[in-house]
Amino acid sequence: MDTTRDVTLLDNAQVKVRITVPGDEVRREYDAIVKEYCEHAHLKGFRKGKVPVDVMIRKLGSSLGDQTRAQVLEKAVQDAFEHAEHKPFPYANPEVKAEDPVEPGKDWTFEVTYDTYPNVELAAYAGIEVEEPEWQIDDEDIGRELKGVQEQNALFTEKEPAVVAKGDIANIDYVEIEAGAEKPATRRQAFVFEVGTGYNFYRLDDEIVGMEKGETRDVTKVYAAEDENKDLAGRSVSLRVTLNSVKEKRLPELNDELAQDISERFKTLDDLKGDIRAKIEAAVKTTLRSAAINAVLAKVVETSTIPLPKSLIEYQLDTMWHDYVRETRIEEARLVELLQAQGRDPAAMRAEMTPAAEQRAKLQLVIGEISKREQIGVEEGEVEAEIGRLAEARRVEAKALRENLTKNDLLDTLAGNLRLEKLYDHVLAKSVVKKAGTKKVLDILRGA
């Protein structure tokens, strides 16, 4: 479409384009719409394709102008984006300001504002120093993992008498109560957890110790203002709890038989310990590598100039909210009800997430800019090698895995992950690692 465009660059990677569509282009679209109706519309008193233009125009009325406006707008914006020097950002949702009506034969002007790719002024990322502690795997580390193996292979049996103690597996129903009345939005049924772990929203472990199967108990919990759970901090909460069942846990002995039960690869307990040691070592190295990558990229983000498109921040906020919903394992609508019942506003929570979303957005832009500058790509052979590695780890045929990835449109994701790992390797190769102090393995894995 033949249009004239006046482009203005705004702050935060925004572009405003004032587009003028010539009157003859407007007339052409208007006439094309009328012609389409005349040729295909069924109108009483006229044969198909024989409706006079003036009759059709009167029949369509103001809707004809609305259709012309929509069609001209769509084509003009599409043409502007195709020829734009500053292309729309992938997450951009253009805002259109078009107040004037469309009239055939008359120039029509409107404005469209959109986010574009920001011009990132990337700081130097070579020579950045990162600290890494000395570490060593000891018997305590092995013992801790063996304890986990016992827990994973524990047997659970109905407890007799069915009285809750720490270490038992409890199945409970609970609901908040206020002035003796239950608050339905907070109800949870058949919730199962190990008593003493604190792995329940209200941390009711101590309050249910001593309860018997079938018993219902009203309890009140007071949470400190600085409680780590912001939804509970500073609150006094009354709950009605019913114990549905209680099971006790029996751990297997640590011996060769347990090792053999875990995997045919292990003949003795020492074989299992050796495997645990190798996995701990790999986990520590992965953790330290991630910490080094984060430190380098955080420094680059801090020292770079990064205009932030609003649409990218909104995208990150949406991602963070959906992650939060998934982590709670509660259906979104029900979670919103629960939060509102507790006096928490999802919109306010979103606002609290904004600083973190901005940092994630900056990191995304920095990674993209480094990848572009270093021309980091992935060859088909690298993708095939990764598929082979994954297939071996999952004990499936590489061909079958590739077919499954293709079927689920995951090949591009796989290639993207490989590209990202290559970028990380590239960045780390340019950094300077300095040994600093000694840390226990558990502290490293916990990020302490």
The predicted-structure confidence for 367-421, as pLDDT tens digits, reads as follows 999 999 999 999 999 999 999 999 999 999 999 999 999 999 999 999 999 999 9
What is the rounded radius of gyration, in angstroms, for the C-alpha atoms of the chain? 32
State whether residue 291 is helix, strand or coil: helix
Q: How far is CA 351 from CA 13, 93, 229, in A?
A: 21, 20, 17
Local confidence band at 92 (pLDDT 50, 70, 90 cut-offs): confident
CATH of domain 266-446: 1.10.3120.10
Q: Is the peptide bond before 104 cis (omega within 30 degrees of 0)?
A: no
Local confidence band at 197 (pLDDT 50, 70, 90 cut-offs): very high
Q: Are strands 432-438 and 129-134 parallel, antiparallel or unpaired?
A: parallel
Residue 214 CB-density burial (10 A; 0-12 exposed, 13-18 middle, 19+ buried): exposed
Residue 446 CB-density burial (10 A; 0-12 exposed, 13-18 middle, 19+ buried): exposed
Distance in angstroms (rounded) separating the CA atoms of residues 243 and 249: 17
pLDDT of the residue at 196: 95
pLDDT of the residue at 338: 87
Residue 298: its H or E element: helix 269-303
33 DSSP assignment: H
Nearest to 292 by CA among 429, 121, 417: 429
Segment 148-164 mean pLDDT = 94
Percent of the chain with pLDDT over 70: 100
Report domain extents, the chain.
Answer: 4-115, 155-250, 266-446
Domain spanning 4-115, CATH architecture: 2-Layer Sandwich (3.30)
Chain position carrying tokens 């013992």: 143
Confirm if 48 and 42 have CB atoms less than 8 A apart: yes
What CATH topology corresponds to 155-250?
Chitinase A; domain 3 (3.10.50)
Where on the phi/psi map is residue 343: left (φ > 0), alpha (ψ -120 to 50), or beta?
left
pTM comes to: 0.70
pLDDT of the residue at 55: 82
